[in-house]
Every structure is written in C-alpha cells, then in structure tokens.
Amino acid sequence: MNIYSLDQIVAIAKYTSPIYKDFYQSVEPGDALTSLPILSNERLMAIVHAKKPDFVFAEGNTHGLIFESSASTGKPKVTLWGQGEWATSVGLLSVYHWKNGLLKNGDRVGNLCATPYLSYRLVHSVVEHFPGSASEVPIGCEMAFSYLNALVE
C-alpha cells in the first residue's frame, strides 16, 4: 500500500484533475489539512452537470447498477455496471484487500463518500463482500470538516 503525504495528495489532485486544479489554486505546500477548501457536493454537481456526460454501457448490458461519476478527472460519465460484473469486481477487490492486509477481521471502515455515488457504493460493497468480519460506518461527506472529524474521533 502506498502512503502519501498531504502535500503529495494535494499535488496529485491539483495537477491531474481539472476540477481540483481550479479549486486548489491558492493551496500551497505545507498548508494544514484544516485550511484546505472543501468542495461541497452541491458545487461539484453544478460543475459536473454543466457538461454533457459520456455514457459508458457495455455491449449487451440491459440491466444493472447505473452510476453518475463525480467527474474529478474532468469528464463526467454515466456508467451501467451489469449485476454480475459488479459482484465479480467488488468480490475481487474485497479478497485483494484481505490478502494484502488492507482489510482485516474486526476492522471498522468509515465510508466518507457521498451516498448517491459510485464511490460510496463501492466501499459499501467491498465491506459487504469481505470474507471475514468487518463493520462499515456510513458517514458520508456532506457535513463540515469539524463535524466529520469529531464523528471519526
């Protein structure tokens, strides 16, 4: 597992995501986590909905799970995951995390993703398919940083 510093995470977001390039424009190396601007879900969705999304549907898929991306890469998309391919993907991720020690028996996973989006469902499904015993705490990310921090602590 790679562990990145806050400066590295901000730099990756700032220089690879068109949305965060503008949003983190005034952020400098060494700024504290608590001083980072928070991209609200409402603001992100306003940016995303200003562009026409790509539709990514596999050949032959007629049913499954439909997700709209948050477009942090700069191009929004709507994706249809077939139910079988979703179960296979999250099952493999879950086993991969278990075998590599990223998810262990007794772990508690705080799901900080916005609830209606793929990120939230992905974390939820990986914990759900974990072959051991782990708990998920569905927190979401729509609240102020101080509230989220207090809740996590």
Return d(Cα 33, Cα 38) in angstroms, integer.
Answer: 10
pLDDT along the chain (153 residues), means of 10: 82 83 86 84 76 68 69 70 85 93 92 77 91 88 80 79
- pLDDT score at 97: 93
- pLDDT score at 50: 74
Tell me the angle at which helices 118-129 and 83-99 cross, rounded to the nearest 10 degrees: 60
- pLDDT score at 19: 81
- pLDDT score at 96: 93
- pLDDT score at 58: 66
Residue keyed to tokens 């952020």: 27
Q: Are strands 54-57 and 77-81 parallel, antiparallel or unpaired?
A: parallel
Q: DSSP states of 10-74 as a string?
A: HHHHHHH-HHHHHHTTT--TT--GGGSPP--HHHHHHHHHTSPPEEEE-TT--SSEEEE---TTS
- pLDDT score at 1: 55
Contact 10, 24 (CB under 8 A): yes
